[in-house]
Amino acid sequence: MPLVTSKEMFAKAYNGGYAIGAFNVNNMEIVQGITEAAKELEAPLILQVSKGARAYANHTYLMKLVEAAVIETGLPICLHLDHGDSFETCKSCIDGGFTSVMIDASSKPFEENIEITRKVVEYAHDRGVVVEAELGTLAGIEDEVKVSAEDSSYTKPEEVEEFVSRTGCDSLAIAIGTSHGAYKFKPGTKPQLRFDVLEEVSKRLPGFPIVLHGSSSVPQDLVAKINKYGGAMPGAIGVPEDQLRHAASLSVCKINIDSDLRLAMTATIREFFYEHPDKFDPREYLKPARAAIKAVVAHKIVNVLGCDHKI
Ligand code: G3H
Ligand code: 13P
Ligand code: ZN
From the list 46, 13, 73, the residue with the least C-alpha distance to 248 is 13
CA of 180 to the centre of ligand 3 (A): 6
pTM strictly above 0.95: yes
Give the closest residue (by CA) to ligand 1 atom 6: 142
Q: 258 CB less than 6 Å from ligand 1?
A: yes
Give the number of whichever ligand sits closest to the CA of residue 143: 1
Mutate to test the pocket of ligand 1, among 49, 147, 258, 259 (most ligand atoms within 8 A of CB): 258
Angle (CA) 207 300 276, round 5°: 155
Give the number of whichever ligand sits closest to the CA of residue 82: 2
CATH pick for 7-226+237-261+294-305 out of 3.20.20.70, 3.30.70.100, 3.30.43.10, 3.90.78.10:
3.20.20.70
C-beta separation of 163 from 205 below 8 A: no
Q: How far apart are CA 181 and CA 311, in angstroms?
A: 30
Q: 173 CB less than 6 Å from ligand 1?
A: no
**Closest atom, ligand 2, to C-alpha of 258:** 4
CA of 44 to the centre of ligand 1 (A): 22
Question: What pLDDT does residue 151 have?
Answer: 65
Question: What pLDDT does residue 248 have?
Answer: 98
Active site positions, annotated: 82
Question: What pLDDT does residue 1 have?
Answer: 80
Give the closest residue (by CA) to ligand 1 atom 4: 258
Q: How far apart are CA 7 and CA 170, in angstroms?
A: 8
Question: What pLDDT does residue 149 have?
Answer: 65
Strands (E) across 175-270 are located at 210-212, 252-257
C-beta separation of 202 from 245 below 8 A: no
Distances (CA, A) of 285 to 122, 238, 280: 45, 26, 8
Distances (CA, A) of 209 to 36, 204, 205, 260: 26, 12, 9, 23
HSE at residue 222, side-chain half, CA atoms within 13 A, is 24
Question: What pLDDT does residue 280 have?
Answer: 98
CA of 52 to the centre of ligand 1 (A): 7
Question: What pLDDT does residue 138 have?
Answer: 87
Spell out the per-residue pLDDT of the chain, length 311, in tens: 899 999 999 999 999 999 999 999 999 999 999 999 999 999 999 999 999 999 999 999 999 999 999 999 999 999 999 999 999 999 999 999 999 999 999 999 999 999 999 999 999 999 999 999 999 998 776 655 667 666 679 999 999 999 999 999 999 999 999 999 999 999 889 999 999 999 999 999 999 999 999 999 999 999 999 999 999 999 999 999 999 999 999 999 999 999 999 999 999 999 999 999 999 999 999 999 999 999 999 999 999 999 999 99
Mutate to test the pocket of ligand 1, among 82, 89, 261 (most ligand atoms within 8 A of CB): 82
